[in-house]
Structure 1
Amino acid sequence: NTKEIHGALQGTQQQHTSYQNKQPTPICQAPKKLQQTLQICNSMFPETTINTTLTRIARNIKNQTAKNQHIKNCIERRYQNFQNNTSKMIKSILKKYTDPVILHNIRTHDNIITEPDEIKTAIQEHFKNWTKLNPTQTELWQEWANEYKPIQTIDSTWYDTTTTEIILTELENIIKEAPNTKATGPSKISNEMLKHLGPQAKLM
């Protein structure tokens, strides 16, 4: 991840500098060969064909200009994030984002809510009631009381070692025996990465 972030930051700076230094070529400086080409086209093709061709060329130029402007805006925004909002910059590089939940309507048992303010209120009320206090039904407790009593056949000393501090040798053996090429899970830390930990990292 560090190399990926470093490379992206360098690329952003280079792209920003390139766009800052790049100057567009004025249309008035177009080569004379283009004018000659248009004259030849006028003599070879009907006027409608020329108009259609020019319209298509103009549309392509406009689309390309809009695309270039969009790219420039994205580079500028990333550069500004690099300067003023590094956390957003890193999230963008690592593609870490959360899609917002947008509800256009809520259907109840007798109504459909479409107003944004009413939707927010309905959501708040739903989670407020969903997490409300659920008291124990004391009249049914006697039926389950025996199920929650300690089991006499379990020796409490069996669990004494669960709170024993893990020594470094034990940790190294577990890491050494861990299989490779396994899914990392939410932590994104693979067994191969753990096997390359230094002594200082293992003590942490």
Structure 2
Amino acid sequence: DEHFSTSPGSFISSALSVEYRSIVLNRVLVVIDSKPTLLTDPSDIKQAAIKHFQSVVTPPLIQYSSIDEFSSRWQRAYTPLSDIDSSLYDSVLSPILEDEWKSTLNSMPNNKASGPFKISYEMLKHLTGEAFNLSLILANACLNQGDIPADWREAL
């Protein structure tokens, strides 16, 4: 599936026929000049929703693109230690092998609640062929890109 490489989350949702529910706002009550006002025009509702969430949600944390942008205190904390051999990390950074993946999946406990994608450990344990290979590719892609879905992190 073309979504697998471009959008793994969409691929999984599509494969599992995940049904998303949404809330449709066709009117919004806002306070303008100290008096309640009912908005029904879709563009006004959209603007009111944007304004609301911009004021409710805190601004994102600062995104750093390089360690050089850190304060000197954090640069010292995150600078690699010279007395540690970097080759120690080679095995951690190498791709997951098929037998390692199979062993990891088989070590997962049974009878646990499924996550948001409704995939149970039992389902993962029974993957074979192409499905098993795609799950391994997905796991390695997540590790290589350092992009592990938040729901997966919570499950760990």
TM-score by length of 1: 0.39
Higher share in helix:
1
